[in-house]
Structure 1
Amino acid sequence: MATPTVEKFLLEVSRVLRERNGPQLQDILVIEPPLPPLYNLMVNELRNAFPSGQDDALEDKCTRALPEYVEMEDGSSWTAFIKFMRQYFCFLRDVNVENLVETFQLLRNLVKQSVNALGHGSMGVVLLPTVIAFSRALTKLTIALHKKPQLIAHLIRRQAADESGSRSTLVDTAADVLRDAFSGCLNDRSVTGAGVGSDGRPMGKKISIYVIANLCLKLYFECDKIRSAEQIFVNIQNGSPPLSLYPASQRVTYLYYLGRYYFVNNHFYRAQLALQSAYDGCHSKCVQQRSRILPFLITACMTLGRFPSQALLRRPEAAGLAEKFLPICRAISRGDLATFRSFFGPEGPHTDYFLRRRLLLPLRDRCEVLVWRSMARKTFLLAGSQGDPGARKAPTFDLHDLLRLTQVLERRSFGQTQKKPIGKTHTNSIFMFQNSQQNGIKPELYVDPDVKGVAEPAGPPEPTMLDIESMVSSLIYQGFLGGFISHRQLRFAIRGAKEKGSLNAGFPNVWEVIKSRSSDAVPGWKRDEVSSVRNGVSRPPGPGMVIHLSGARPAGTPPM
């Protein structure tokens, strides 16, 4: 059966390949609906001439239309592209956009075949824009299916019944294909050196490393596979040109995901470095993008003792954040433990917001240490001894005073959490009796023998002096308190008050303490290589440095 439209289409593809016009090839290979009328005509020809089951005949037709790629002038062959064209026609012929699961399978196979064709040394780069476009479509479809579990429930049941042990999810199979595309760009052998040209720009397929990496990362983060992102960052650290050589949009997106990754893994200093750079690199008009970065950046900084300014919270991208974060900052600064804990309880005004964005645990657990520091500072200001520099007597405060303050705040905190019932109760059938009495025992009177006779606590145990000593010792160890504990007198003494003053020496700035002992190196963030000498200062040798040995002499030879 004649297929004039298909033949004309293949001739156009051949022409574009001869011109090595990658963007035009992407424009021709359309997959997303609505299809232009010419493509609908081509689909009808494919269904009539090459129905399902005649894929080999369809591949033969592609081979006859593209013979120059069976054996190329340089002696290589690009039969992977012919197979890709066959898969493209099969996709157009078989796709049914009403069935998203089948569409996913077809699209994944198409992207996989395009990645195989991308591997050709000289012609693969022409297909790169098409691979990126198809990968975007696959990412979008995978995320949509992940958010509609009812559509893939039958696949989950099938995997559960599978005895082979394979447990690859739909997200995993899509991520595998995208990772292959990422590796193909990262390990491009058609370019020399580090993959950077004389003009300072990435060459070959390396130009799209971060585009495809960002698609992989988007898939991982949207589908709760964040741990799987580690290999992407490791590979980029080992084989990518510096991030600064790529467009701002790619840099911002990549640093956003890198910061989110370190945020999840509790590396908050690294997280704020990446997120701050992403925020600074995002244009002020990109309010939506900045608003996605800002909650994570503010939270990461708060855990490090760095609070958001009023000027920041007045920006358009910070709309609604002041009412969520400023009360927490005030509670930390005042050492108000009861109010601080109330923000993260079930009755907290913004608990749902923090939970949805996974900010609650970092704020609650990491910032409570800062509340204790403020409580110690308040105790010193209200009841501490300023000491006598002339008599070499250090400023101190009594740990009993801190204990009493803590006990009062703990009681107040417990009282606030008990004002109202905690959320909605959930009835579980395993705890229900069919009758009001079962086995001769009334349910409301039953007591487990193991706990019979144990008095029911009226509330949480009150803090003891041991708790206070442990907390103050922890603050000293972390550098948030400057001094030592006299365990015999149960007092905290400040060191260095004569030189710095009592408050500066005893209660150093938390952000400065953490910053002074942290490195600005962020694994996964490939930065520009430094030369061995910068500003007249010799730098230690490292990866990528060239060491000239022309003037080397045997060991022990005196200098000339």
Structure 2
Amino acid sequence: MAPLLTQVCSEVNGALQRRDGVFLASILAIEPPFTPIYEQLIVGLRATYPANTNDAIGRLERDIRAIVGETEESEDADGRPVPRWGAMVTFLASWMAFIRDVDVLNLLKTYEDLSELIQRGNAALQHTPKGVLLLPTLVGYAKIFARIAVGVEKRPELIQHLLGPVNQEGGRESLAEKAANVVRQCFITCLSDKATAPGGIRNSKPDGKKAGVYKMANICLKILFQSDKLDNCTAIFRNINNSAPPLHFYPASERVTYLYYLGRHLFANTDFYQAQLVLQKAYDDCTSDPRCRHQKSLILVYLVSANMILGRFPTEHIYSQPEAYGFRKIFSPIAQAIRRGDIESFRRLTSMNVTSKDAVLLRKFRVFYQIGHYCEVLIWRSLFRKVFLLTGHKGTTEKSAPTLDLNAVLAAFQYLEKRAIMTPAIARAEFGPGRRPATFAPEDFMASTYIDPDFEGVEDAKPYNHMPDIAEVECICSSLITQGFLNGFISHKMNRFAIQGARKVGSASKAGFPNAWEVIKATNVEAGQNEVEGWVKEIRQQGGPNVIRLASARPAGS
């Protein structure tokens, strides 16, 4: 054996004897450029254990086992037997083979070799009690592996032969899914560690391999999110919900990253109330260090979007934050349109035809569709309220309820919808009693040019532009009443909406048009939505009740 190889193995053995996993990780480097001592080691490996020799790995394992005595059977401090750690010898040999053969210009081979190395490292990680010493090393490897996997995923010409067979749904397992599954095995090993204190926490810190639970989970989530495989994240969140220690015992960087991914997952699944709870906690826990401004801004994009859908709009305090630079220009026009019930402006801002920089940015973050679709109910509520304030009947007697003529609401809907499909120049013209143009040319209308992709190329396929009628307005009114955004009942015979409880509250507008956010919040609290699957807040004791609880996340600041 070469002297340098003997020295490296001795250093590894010393790190294992001292139980110094961090130092062990510094020895087992895999990312070029290597320092001169590693370059010499690589030359020695190529000379003594060449890659084209069948027994090279076997000889290398024998030589490693002769020096790294910590991999043999032993006893712990209490005299209990510690089994042989053969998987560690195999891993060390694989590590040396990896640095001997690595070619940074061949991403595909590097991906395949590193995948195999991590799997062998996971086998060594499972050893009790020494496997935990390999955790820092595997976390570092997994981060590098994630970068390579995402990079290779963008080169489809390289990976066709690596994709799995076509499944029953007609799809195939992508390279990103394969990579996430490799890291997920390390995550499961950490999550299922039984040699820890009850609940996985000792002296207010994660114990044993449980310390790697959220590290490995975040790396898996990074791969899946960057490769647009959000559906595969559900199993990770469910496993954490069932078996992980409470999140608040972990470092802030791990907490914030994990909650960011959980919040985005909830947002993508339209669980906006839970998403804002999670994202608010991530935002609160994120440091104000300028170096983390980008991360804080990313969290805020989804937090503000979720809150807007729930009827809460950004305040001046939010707009004034450094991480909210540019938010006013993007979100303020939409918020103003919702507050005013301005269907015309809202349609123009959220139309599929919009190509402004702000719309492109919202599409990039994948919040554009959700804002345009789920905020519409808030527009309806605001328009009903505005028409009531302008034309509503307050009630002529003490027993008569304030009412709103739904025909007046219909007129407002039709007026704004017509303006929304006109070109801006025509819409800016006077369009009121006595000033209405007699006729409009076809080019005066912007009528959405968006056609569903399923109908592209179909003869006579035309965009759909719909005008509401009184039946639809009654249907919208009924929906708003059912959701709690209007308080009253409909007289279908008279086409009127009657407000209930106006005299008790003292204001017809307050009684008839409850605050949208308060309604949504009360509904979700009543349904128990403050408990979020995947966000562990308490220790689960084996055979006993949960004993540690956290206060719920404080209300969002936007």
TM-score range, shorter chain: 0.7 to 0.9
Whole-Å Cα distance in 2 between the matches of residues 70 and 166 of structure 1? 46
User: Shift in Å at residue 398 of structure 1?
Assistant: 0.5
Residues 414 and 459 in structure 1, CA contact (< 8 A), matched pair in contact too: no
SS of residue in 2 equivalent to 1:492? strand
Whole-Å Cα distance in 1 between the matches of residues 165 and 500 of structure 2? 66
Whether 1:526 aligns to 2:536 is yes
Matching residue within 308, 318, 326 for 1:312: 318
User: Shift in Å at residue 462 of structure 1?
Assistant: 1.9
Give matches, 1:378-397, under 5 Å.
Answer: 378-388=386-396, 390-397=397-404
* Deviation by residue 1:82-118 (Cα, 9 ceiling, x = unmatched): 0000110110111100111111111111111111100
Identity of aligned residues (%): 39
- After superposing the two structures, state which structure 1 stretch, 130-139 or 262-271, moved more: 130-139
Matching residue within 475, 483, 489 for 2:480: 475
Whole-Å Cα distance in 2 between the matches of residues 27 and 493 of structure 1? 73
Whether 1:18 aligns to 2:28 is no
Give matches, 1:146-225, under 5 Å.
Answer: 146=153, 148-149=154-155, 152-156=156-160, 159=163, 167-197=172-202, 199-225=203-229
Matching residue within 506, 513, 516 for 2:519: 513
Whole-Å Cα distance in 1 between the matches of residues 4 and 477 of structure 2? 79
Whole-Å Cα distance in 2 between the matches of residues 352 and 415 of structure 1? 22
Residues 121 and 189 in structure 1, CA contact (< 8 A), matched pair in contact too: no
SS of residue in 2 equivalent to 1:353? helix
User: Shift in Å at residue 158 of structure 1?
Assistant: 6.3
Whole-Å Cα distance in 2 between the matches of residues 420 and 9 of structure 1? 72
Whole-Å Cα distance in 2 between the matches of residues 153 and 5 of structure 1? 40
Whole-Å Cα distance in 1 between the matches of residues 134 and 485 of structure 2? 56
Are residues 358 and 162 of structure 1, via their aligned partners in 2, closer, same or farther at CA, if it must alter by over 3 Å?
closer
Whole-Å Cα distance in 2 between the matches of residues 470 and 193 of structure 1? 55
SS of residue in 2 equivalent to 1:194? helix
Are residues 392 and 140 of structure 1, via their aligned partners in 2, closer, same or farther at CA, if it must alter by over 3 Å?
same
Give matches, 1:21-36, under 5 Å.
Answer: 21-36=20-35
Are residues 348 and 188 of structure 1, via their aligned partners in 2, closer, same or farther at CA, if it must alter by over 3 Å?
same
Matching residue within 261, 265, 270 for 1:261: 265
User: Shift in Å at residue 459 of structure 1?
Assistant: 6.8
Are residues 465 and 206 of structure 1, via their aligned partners in 2, closer, same or farther at CA, if it must alter by over 3 Å?
same
User: Shift in Å at residue 154 of structure 1?
Assistant: 3.6
- After superposing the two structures, state which structure 1 stretch, 69-78 or 226-235, moved more: 69-78
Matching residue within 89, 92, 98 for 2:96: 89
* Deviation by residue 1:148-172 (Cα, 9 ceiling, x = unmatched): 32xx414226648899999332212
- Matched residue type, 2:140: A
Matching residue within 269, 274, 278 for 2:278: 274
Residues 163 and 175 in structure 2, CA contact (< 8 A), matched pair in contact too: no
Give matches, 1:284-299, under 5 Å.
Answer: 284-285=288-289, 286-299=292-305
Residues 272 and 300 in structure 1, CA contact (< 8 A), matched pair in contact too: yes
Whole-Å Cα distance in 2 between the matches of residues 248 and 363 of structure 1? 30
Whole-Å Cα distance in 1 between the matches of residues 477 and 19 of structure 2? 68
User: Shift in Å at residue 486 of structure 1?
Assistant: 0.5
Residues 347 and 422 in structure 1, CA contact (< 8 A), matched pair in contact too: no
SS of residue in 2 equivalent to 1:168? coil
Please name the residue that 2:385 is paired with.
377
- Matched residue type, 1:12: E
Matching residue within 306, 319, 338 for 1:332: 338
Whether 1:44 aligns to 2:43 is yes
Whole-Å Cα distance in 2 between the matches of residues 28 and 413 of structure 1? 65
Which protein is bigger by CA-based radius of gyration?
1
SS of residue in 1 equivalent to 2:95? helix
SS of residue in 1 equivalent to 2:294? helix
Aligned residues: 507
Unpaired runs of 5+ in structure 1?
432-446, 532-540, 547-560
- Matched residue type, 2:233: A
Residues 305 and 370 in structure 1, CA contact (< 8 A), matched pair in contact too: yes
RMSD over aligned Cα, in angstroms? 2.8
Whole-Å Cα distance in 2 between the matches of residues 458 and 59 of structure 1? 69
Q: Which has the higher contact order (CA 8 A, sep 6+)?
A: 2
- Matched residue type, 1:300: A
- Matched residue type, 2:96: F
Whole-Å Cα distance in 2 between the matches of residues 489 and 528 of structure 1? 55
TM-score, structure 2 normalization: 0.86
Whole-Å Cα distance in 2 between the matches of residues 269 and 192 of structure 1? 34
Unpaired runs of 5+ in structure 2?
76-80, 425-442, 549-558
Whole-Å Cα distance in 1 between the matches of residues 336 and 482 of structure 2? 25
* Deviation by residue 1:367-394 (Cα, 9 ceiling, x = unmatched): 1111111110111011110114x53110
Whole-Å Cα distance in 2 between the matches of residues 163 and 395 of structure 1? 60
Whole-Å Cα distance in 2 between the matches of residues 108 and 458 of structure 1? 49
